[in-house]
A = this chain, B = another copy of it.
Amino acid sequence: MYRFDNDYHCGAHPLILEALREHNDEGYDGYGLDLWCEKASEEIRKHLDLPGAAIHFVEGATQANFTVISSALRPWQSVLSPATGHIHAHETGAVEHTGHKIELLPTEDGKITASQVREVVEGYRDSEVQEHITQPKMVYISFPTEMGSLYTKAELEELHQVCRSYGLYLFADGARMGYGLGADTCDVTLKDLSRLTDVFTIGGTKCGALLGEAVVVGNPQIQTGFRASMKQNGALMAKGWLLGLQFYTLFKDGLYFEINRKACEYAMRIRKAFEDEGVAPYIDSHTNQQFVVLSRRQLEYLEKNYVLQHWEKIDEDYTLVRVCTSWSTTPEEVDALVSNIERI
């Protein structure tokens, strides 16, 4: 069985394992105050337009999300999110658990628009009972989204503008950042993200590392107390250098960009194979996640050899399925899947 169900089933890129072995016995200071976190930050900063950005390394994406959000907001403030947002749909109410309301914006493809944000904030401003509702203070987006779609640079600029003009923070969840940047349609760079958001994450767990997310904090207001907040939320890893070393390995020679771009190429081959058989993409995704609606027979046929993820049951006969490549996907696995798709 080849796995195309998700992008976190394998360990790490071999170069990372090699680095871990090489430096295993050296002994480093704890809690992210070490050489490797410093070097990783330097490498990442080269890709940013933010000389003063603080970069923190945490273990997981849910942890990154609620630590960032609860650390930035005051108790009476809320975060706006697309209804498909990971913080709403897949994190067991972690954000509410920290005391904050998520205000949902409808979306078809996982993206929200500047005008949606404006409407909510204007509604708050016009309210005669402002203290009876929460104050929108942050916009949460995912890059790429949970549906594999991508914001264009123009769309990010607009979100940035509306957030700036209303005093909201813009937070981009980049758990799959590598696959966003590696998409053939992507016109956004880390530099853009650093310029257009107040804080964003660069995912390691799904993009080549054993585990770990880099949190890039551009806005100094969010930086205040952030390490204390990390500790309080269980996100200050004793052996933080393990995360630093991994991100250093991923960024020093562009490995991060290369392995994730390849995964996108594989995904596009799979997408094309489906299209050639008349199975249109459910969402126009150019990233590593492809969504297709398959009949029961098609699904049964493919599942003889491949693990796929059932996303949603459409009806008795049809299922929305996620086909997911990753940094660990091999050309052979893709060849095999494509040739099988040609026979559905």
Contact = CB atoms under 8 A, between A and B. Distances in A.
A20 B18 CA distance: 11
Interface in A40-60: 59-60
B234 A94 contact: yes
Contacts of A133: 89-90, 92-93
A174 to B, nearest CB: 15
B6 A23 contact: no
A100 B90 contact: no
A66 interface: yes
Interface string A14-28: 100100110111111
A23 B9 CA distance: 11
A237 B59 contact: yes
Interface in A180-198: none
Given A131-B236, A239-B211, A94 B231 contact: yes
A84 interface: no
Contact of A91 (B8, B31, B132, B229): B132
A36 to B, nearest CB: 11
A101 interface: yes
Contacts of A31: 129, 131-132
Interface string A125-168: 00011111111000000000000000000000000000000000
A172 interface: no
A80 to B, nearest CB: 13
Contacts of A130: 228
Nearest to A211: B239
A82 to B, nearest CB: 15
Given A9-B239, A211-B237, 12 more contacts: A3-B27, A61-B238, A70-B75, A71-B75, A77-B225, A78-B93, A91-B132, A93-B101, A93-B133, A99-B99, A134-B228, A205-B239
26 contacts: A8-B238, A8-B239, A11-B23, A17-B17, A20-B20, A21-B21, A59-B237, A62-B234, A67-B234, A74-B224, A75-B98, A76-B92, A77-B225, A78-B93, A91-B232, A92-B134, A93-B99, A93-B101, A93-B232, A94-B231, A131-B231, A132-B236, A205-B238, A210-B239, A233-B234, A234-B234
